[in-house]
Structure 1
Amino acid sequence: MKGPILTAATLAISFGLAAPQSMQAAEDAQAASSILSRISASRIAVISDGDFLARTYGTAKLAPQKAGYRDLLTIMSPGSDKIVTGSIPISNSVTSAPEILALSEDGQTAFVTERLGERPEGGNSVSDLPPGRRLFAVDLSDGAALRLSDTVEIEAFPEALSLSPDGESVAVVSNTPEASFVQIVTYRNGRFGRLTRFDLADLEVRGSAPDPRGGVTATNVHWHPSGRFLAVNINTQNRVAFFEVTGADDAPMLRPWGNVVEVGADPFVGRFAPDGRHYLTANWGRNFAAKNLEGRIPQTPSTISVIRLADPAASPQSARHDLRGGAETDLSSEGIAISPDGRMVATVNMRGTAFPPGSARFHRNASVTLLSFDPATGAMTKLADYPFEGSLPEGGAFDDTGDHFLATVFQGHDSAGPEAGPGLEVFRVEKGDRPTLNRLGRVPLPHGAHHVDLAP
């Protein structure tokens, strides 16, 4: 995490820390500021990985150190006179699910975890990166001077985190060579407290495959809006497990809540609907037996599965969750988001942007898929795909009113200008009987943007 963050021109556009270097830079900065001013949020947080390039998945080679990229947390405040109000180096990795960042409801704290650790001096390949073991809390109360408020060591290779509805506990899933863990750590008054670990095998989530952990890999954890339950995606087994959280906040216990549900192939990420009646998974569909990128990345569209949850009043033993169907999205979806009213769902799709330009499967355009959702019945209908230029878009989020959707873009193409480089792709949601997305433009950000979260 050493070296310059950005070129001077991009600093002028993205950070507002220096005078624009040209008339074009000034115009780009004004356009980005205009886009941000429309977003309904008190704060926008974006996490960026400075170690990887888009082609790293195929080459295993990290970004050249002379490029000066950094692992970075960037904070934007739409009501500010600056596009970016603050930034701080925070170790993170794009190799995780786009669920390693969460903002507190009041926008005063950001939580980040690292699947892979910081790049060592002289490291130039993925194998040089150590296992990640840390969960970070960043104090955002002074928007211009972000501060690391606390760090706690967790099990290696954390994959995803979720902040409890009351903001006082963080759940994290990790996959060590020996076991998959759910971890719950308290957070109060700017400090992490007690950390409790749960081996998924002890919670009846096991596998018999001749692979690490018996073939169990947990890639997503999410708190139910009530704070009573957790969902954990086991993407290598195409299953979702649900757990009830009991006991005191500083001494929680987990027990299985109802049945484990089989869903579509490779349920990488998931979300509870805002009213808590359904759980939705975005199923990437990868082939984990493949030995190369071409074999692993599917050539068929990803899907969404919809699970109708059991009655919370039922006993954990008698609770029964039901798969209610779902819909196709687009090629290689990663992130999923649900609008605040629960009536729209969006996935962020990489398509073929992970492939090198010389590959027959390379695409310049990624996409966002917009779907309608009936919170009462769980019925889902795909509305349309909305393509945009850029590599490895992963995370996405609706704003507080559901009037805008933001998608992260990891990297631009070599021939692309600043308007198609790394940043936030922003869409206006045109509501009605059949909602649509209207592209507003891109807010440029540091290389490697891969997840975004908003505070109301």
Structure 2
Amino acid sequence: MNGPVLTAATLAITFSLAAPQSMQAAEGAQAASEILGRISASRIAVISDGDFVARTYGTAELAPQNAGYRDLLTIMSPAGDKIVTGSIPVSNSVTSAPEILALSEDGQTAFVTERLGERPEGGNRISDLPPGRRLFAVDLSDGAALRLSDTVEIEAFPEALSLSPDGESVAVVSNTPEASFVQIVAYRDGRFSRLARFDLADLGVTGSEPAPRGGVTATNVHWHPSGRFLAVNIDTQNRVAFFEVTGADDAPILRPWGNVVEVGADPFVGRFTPDGRHYLTANWGRNFTATSLEGRIPQTPSTISVIRLADPATSPQSARHDLLGGAETGLSSEGIAISPDGRLVATVNMRGTAFPPGSARFHRDASVTLLSFDPATGAISRLADYPFEGSLPEGGAFDRTGDHFLATVFQGHDGARPEAGSGLEVFRVAKGDRPALKRLGRVPLPHGVHHVDLAP
């Protein structure tokens, strides 16, 4: 974790990790470079899990040791007519929500957390992986030579993180066997400092189920654009709780902001809209009582819920948030993204790609669902689904102009073409009266890609 894996200056060298050296690979690298050259971003950050393969969810067996996969953070930065790229080992886990990576607004720092820790020598099964306990900050100031800035220990099993709008605080949710926590870690001048920890039970989020933490599991945390509030998704209870953040940056205080809102089943992730007037949740719809992959993963479409937020000027005690409605998306959606103008929403849908090819529920194609959103009224409407080949797509993001959408692909299917393997599936956003996505192609990357974030 002390130095970069790559110090090359061109994107093609990164691609050599994902594809064999050949004329075809070189042509693919050039095509991918041209695709990335269209993206409006100063940095593109991608996180990859090297411990899991697609079948791990069904077999509990980790990737073969001899596969050579690694937990990696990869950064791609436009530099004239080239893309400067670099990678560094950073422990992470695909078992978390696709919210364990965030870039600072200036593109100089990446933050990553690990739900499960690094694979021990001889570890072959999920049960061999230790609890994750770390939050990392990575210095990106030299585009190719990435450097670990700092690490701080947090509560075990961190599930998601969010960076405050001013870039000086990282909020993280963790679910230990005893409690669910919101943690706020101050970050200045390349170093973590004070860590404030809040037990959700002490903030009124409790459960009475005969399960760990009374059945409370927090899977998402997100800062309001104002920096005043946090949203926390409790997916096992189909609820979202909101909190006001007060006090100094290095000694924050949390208190409930208005009512807890019931939403659709299994609100795995969520986002505030850019104007701060609404909060949207992507509801996966899993059955948490099931003991098998077939029983847990739903056969009905996932959904989105839209919450209209209370007026920030209202006192926290009297603030009232309202569930407006929602829309259906694709099967097994995980990631959600909102365009910079707040008028488009996209979910990344695994569909049946998590199942083995012999299963009746196996799908070779995943999909992106594109929806229109009215920032004034909160009305949301499904526009279309866009299929693409690959296993376990999770995270997604619009670029800074909203002209492109990027979806992660964890791995390709057995025997897949190199251009259908692990990487970023890139779409152009056709705007107008009825927006649509136009596929540009795939940027190949090392195995295990599961989230992406962009800096303006």
**TM-score normalized with structure 2 length:** 0.97
Identity, % of aligned positions: 90
Structure 1: gaps spanning 5 or more residues: none
Shift of residue 78, structure 1, vs aligned partner: 3.1
User: CA contact under 8 A between 1:4 and 1:69: conserved in structure 2?
Assistant: no
Structure 1 stretches of at least 4 aligned residues deviating more than 2 Å after TM superposition: 1-22, 78-84
Structure 2: gaps spanning 5 or more residues: none
Comparing 26-35 with 384-393, greater Cα deviation is found at 26-35
Distance 1:361 1:318, change over 3 A: same
Distance 1:48 1:133, change over 3 A: same
User: CA contact under 8 A between 1:3 and 1:69: conserved in structure 2?
Assistant: no
User: CA contact under 8 A between 1:242 and 1:257: conserved in structure 2?
Assistant: yes
Measured in 2, the distance between the counterparts of 1:324 and 1:333 equals 20
Shift of residue 82, structure 1, vs aligned partner: 4.8
User: CA contact under 8 A between 2:411 and 2:447: conserved in structure 1?
Assistant: yes
User: CA contact under 8 A between 2:4 and 2:87: conserved in structure 1?
Assistant: no
Distance 1:374 1:97, change over 3 A: same
Shift of residue 79, structure 1, vs aligned partner: 3.5
User: CA contact under 8 A between 1:76 and 1:85: conserved in structure 2?
Assistant: yes
Shift of residue 415, structure 1, vs aligned partner: 1.6
User: CA contact under 8 A between 1:268 and 1:284: conserved in structure 2?
Assistant: yes
Aligned partner of residue 24 in structure 1, secondary structure: helix
Measured in 2, the distance between the counterparts of 1:319 and 1:226 equals 16
Measured in 2, the distance between the counterparts of 1:189 and 1:16 equals 35
User: CA contact under 8 A between 1:14 and 1:84: conserved in structure 2?
Assistant: no
Measured in 2, the distance between the counterparts of 1:268 and 1:18 equals 30
Shift of residue 14, structure 1, vs aligned partner: 3.2
Measured in 2, the distance between the counterparts of 1:93 and 1:84 equals 26
Distance 1:444 1:374, change over 3 A: same
Measured in 1, the distance between the counterparts of 2:46 and 2:448 equals 10
Measured in 2, the distance between the counterparts of 1:373 and 1:23 equals 44
Matched, 1:272 2:275: no
Aligned partner of residue 30 in structure 2, secondary structure: helix
Distance 1:422 1:10, change over 3 A: farther
User: CA contact under 8 A between 1:138 and 1:146: conserved in structure 2?
Assistant: yes
Aligned alpha-carbon RMSD (Å): 2.4
Residue number in structure 2 paired with 1:390 = 390
Distance 1:279 1:109, change over 3 A: same
User: CA contact under 8 A between 1:2 and 1:68: conserved in structure 2?
Assistant: no
**TM-score normalized with structure 1 length:** 0.97
Distance 1:189 1:6, change over 3 A: closer
Equivalent pairs, count:
456
* Per-residue Cα deviation, 1:233-282 (whole angstroms, up to 9, x for no partner): 00000000000001011100000000000000000000000000000000
Aligned partner of residue 173 in structure 1, secondary structure: strand
* Per-residue Cα deviation, 1:176-203 (whole angstroms, up to 9, x for no partner): 0000000000000000010000000000
Measured in 2, the distance between the counterparts of 1:394 and 1:108 equals 24
Measured in 1, the distance between the counterparts of 2:455 and 2:10 equals 25
User: CA contact under 8 A between 1:37 and 1:79: conserved in structure 2?
Assistant: no
Measured in 2, the distance between the counterparts of 1:255 and 1:215 equals 21
Distance 1:183 1:52, change over 3 A: same
Shift of residue 77, structure 1, vs aligned partner: 1.2
Measured in 2, the distance between the counterparts of 1:362 and 1:270 equals 27
Distance 1:227 1:34, change over 3 A: same
User: CA contact under 8 A between 1:425 and 1:442: conserved in structure 2?
Assistant: yes
Distance 1:343 1:18, change over 3 A: closer
